[in-house]
Amino acid sequence: LTLIRDLQEAVNKNELWMAYQPKVDTRTGRVCQFEALMRWRHPTLGFVPPDEFIGLAERSGNIAMLSHWMLGHVCQQIHLWKTQGHHLSVAINLSASDVTDPTLPQRLNKLFSHYNLTPDQLALEVTESDVMQDADAATETLLDLSWLGLKISVDDYGTGYSSLAQIKRLPVDELKIDKSFVLKLDTQEEDLTIVRSTIEMGHNLDLKIVAEGVENSASAELLSRLHCDYLQGYWIAKPMPADAVTSWLADFK
């Protein structure tokens, strides 16, 4: 309970920050996007894992406040990078209640004009289970967002219960294969089979495919050979603070 109160104060007390993890295009070898991941350093408990405090915020009705802060913060950061000569694209994670919030497209539109961003500079990651909780409302919001020009990615793909046929009814552009299928791709024959067929089916439905949890070069090479479009994982880089991004980009070249 005190943790909920602490979380409510975390925004004002500057305890939240965003970490950024790159995704690389397998065809060009270049960074195509960063994913923004929320971090909380509690004054006495220290680092609280996002799985814990995001879930707590969702259950206690505080997730809208966190998402609100996160959207403004990320848009401001993209703007800052632009003033430093980097036109970067960032993917953010949405919660179930964000996906059904009818005010989200309008709020994002305002942030875009305020920070002078183009729609290709922000993308959205939503999980299939979050979307399927209220598929009709989610579809409406996602349609509005895709009309704004935002790309939408299905996060943790393969861990839910929905079929690609259901997913294809949503305005999505990309599947993000869950890391549980990718982490041991180089040694587990079954994972390779699942990943290969996901890439094939996804491509047949005109979806881009991202693999997360790429931890070694063997998995990266396998994924490139299977024509996976984008890779993300510790092999490329761990999530890093915003002020490390430009120097990391310079080193990566």
Residues at the interface with Na ion (CB under 5 A): 155-156
Rounded-to-integer distance, Cα 198 and Cα 13, Å: 43
The reply on whether position 213 binds ligand G by CB under 6 A is yes
Pairing of strands 230-231, 16-25: antiparallel
The reply on whether position 21 binds Mn ion by CB under 5 A is no
Q: Cβ 205 to ligand G, closest distance in Å?
A: 21
Q: Which stretch binds ligand G (CB under 6 A): 46-54, 132-140, 197-205, 222-230?
A: 46-54
Pairing of strands 31-42, 122-127: unpaired
The reply on whether position 215 binds ligand G by CB under 6 A is yes
Given Mn ion, Na ion, ligand G, none, residue 105, with its beta carbon under 5 to 8 Å by kind, binds none
Residue of 6, 98, 101, 155 interacting with Mn ion (CB under 5 A): 155
Core vs surface per residue 10-49: b (16+ CB within 10 A) or e:
bbeeebbebbbbbbbebeeeebbbbbbbbbbeeeeeeebe
Q: Which stretch binds ligand G (CB under 6 A): 40-48, 92-100, 158-166, 188-196?
A: 92-100
Rounded-to-integer distance, Cα 20 and Cα 14, Å: 18
Q: Cβ 89 to ligand G, closest distance in Å?
A: 16
Residues 95-134 that bind ligand G (CB under 6 A): 95, 125
Tell me if residue 26 falls in helix, strand or coil. coil
* 237 within 8 A of 21, measured Cβ to Cβ: yes
Rounded-to-integer distance, Cα 232 and Cα 87, Å: 19
Residues that bind ligand G (CB under 6 A): 21, 29, 37-38, 50-51, 54, 70, 93-95, 125, 155-156, 179, 212-215, 232-237, 239, 252
Residues that bind Mn ion (CB under 5 A): 93, 125, 155
